[in-house]
Amino acid sequence: MKLFIPDRAYIDPKSLEYDVGKFAKEQLEKLNIPIIESKKVSIEGKSPSENYAKAKKTIYLTVNKEKKLRPCSPSADYQFSLSSSCPGHCEYCYLQTTQGEKPFMRVFVNIYEIIDVIQEHIDKNLPNITTFECGSITDPVALEHLTGNLKRCIEFFGNSEKGRLRVITKFDNVDSFLDINHNKHTKFRFSINTKYIINKFEHNTASFEERMRAACKIASSGYPIGFIIAPIMIYNNWKYDYNELFNELKSQLGSHKEEITFELIQHRFTATAKELILTRFPKTELDLNEETRQLKWGPYGKFKYVYPKEQSSEIKDYISDIIQKNFSNSRIEYFT
Ligand code: SF4
């Protein structure tokens, strides 16, 4: 897919004290992106959906001051961020409720300070291995062409004895990671789904085919790989479509000898997310009917609507079964 090009960029003057900030500014200038140096971002749309659309084309170069990293169960020990938000417009995205009405993209330029914080967390946990997720509030690959920061992180983890990185993406801009010394310390997971779900709900992200090509390149470069199948939805023909998805995965990666992991996440939504989704995507065809769902208490202090027990077990059994039939080298990390 084409690399993301913002419509406008705000730059926190502090970020120009960092080499990555200067580099990113140069990239933006080469692309003729209007640049505003400011300590805050101003987005003035006429409606919530216009605010959303404008924000998703706006970046803000700034500094990440986080010193204490948050835990990241079930996928890693901690999470850190190279950016927040992303250029994708996935209708169901769980970040809908956490990034405000104007989810512009913060792009953090102080990479070596971020790496220092990571190192402190690794040191505190010695002699154990500490794992880090960098895709909890962003897509870390989508904005890589503006900073090169994920590549720097992969190199850092490649040299780290006790630190491991987990990357998750729906984008395919992976070429800059192929020839670097990752030492198998970074695991790439591609978020994939049936073509119906990708085409209908995951706007402005790489297509199924593009993600598969990127996954094959990453696998050939020796990275550990995995797939997140999320959100798994029940709709007409869902079983047929998920079966197709794994058939295609097998045809592309059937000869891959190393382990392939799978993380399985069923579709869920909160009442607040539903409200926001309906203002941003008034014609959405997402199934947001509370009456056909069951309430589950979430770790972030909110109830979420998940599939009732019987359906969620059906999803878990059906998908796990196809994975095991198709991939003898697979491991399902969790279903939630
Ligand atoms: Fe959300 Fe990921 Fe889609 Fe971006 S790509 S909108 S982070 S689900």
Which has the closest alpha carbon to 263: 332, 171, 170?
A: 332
CA pair distance 291, 274, nearest whole angstrom: 13
* CA–centroid distance, residue 241 to ligand 1 (Å): 22
For residue 135, the ligand 1 atom closest to its alpha carbon is 7
Question: What are the helix (H) ranges across the chain?
Answer: 19-30, 48-55, 111-124, 144-147, 149-158, 195-201, 208-220, 238-253, 271-280, 309-326
Is beta strand 58-62 parallel, antiparallel or unpaired with respect to 35-37? Answer: unpaired
Distances (CA, A) of 273 to 101, 244, 278, 317, 334: 12, 30, 9, 28, 24
Please give the pLDDT value at position 150. Answer: 98
Output the residue whose Cα is nearest ligand 1's atom 5: 88
For residue 94, the ligand 1 atom closest to its alpha carbon is 1
DSSP 269: B
Return the best residue to mutate from 4, 59, 93 for the ligand 1 pocket (most ligand atoms within 8 A of CB).
93
Please give the pLDDT value at position 254. Answer: 82
How many Cβ atoms are within 10 Å of 282's Cβ, its own excluded? 9
Global ipTM: 0.99
Positions of the chain with pLDDT under 50? none
Mention every residue, 6+ apart, whose C-beta is less than 8 A from residue 221. 177, 178, 179, 182
Please give the pLDDT value at position 73. Answer: 84
SS3 192: strand
Please give the pLDDT value at position 54. Answer: 95
* CA–centroid distance, residue 273 to ligand 1 (Å): 14
Could you tell me if the CB of 63 is within 6 A of ligand 1? Answer: no
For residue 86, the ligand 1 atom closest to its alpha carbon is 4
Phi-psi category of 190—alpha, beta or left, where left has phi over 0 and alpha has psi -120 to 50? beta
Let me know: does 160 contact 122? Beta carbons within 8 Å.
Answer: yes
Output the residue whose Cα is nearest ligand 1's atom 1: 93
Let me know: does 143 contact 52? Beta carbons within 8 Å.
Answer: no
Token pair listed for 291: 């009456």
Q: What is the DSSP string of 92-122?
A: T-GGGGTS-S--PEEEE--HHHHHHHHHHHH
Which has the closest alpha carbon to 266: 296, 244, 225, 240?
A: 296
For residue 142, the ligand 1 atom closest to its alpha carbon is 5
CA pair distance 284, 299, nearest whole angstrom: 27
* CA–centroid distance, residue 171 to ligand 1 (Å): 10
Mention every residue, 6+ apart, whose C-beta is less than 8 A from residue 179. 221
Could you tell me if the CB of 249 is within 6 A of ligand 1? Answer: no
**What's the start-to-end Cα distance of the chain, in Å?**
30
Could you tell me if the CB of 85 is within 6 A of ligand 1? Answer: no
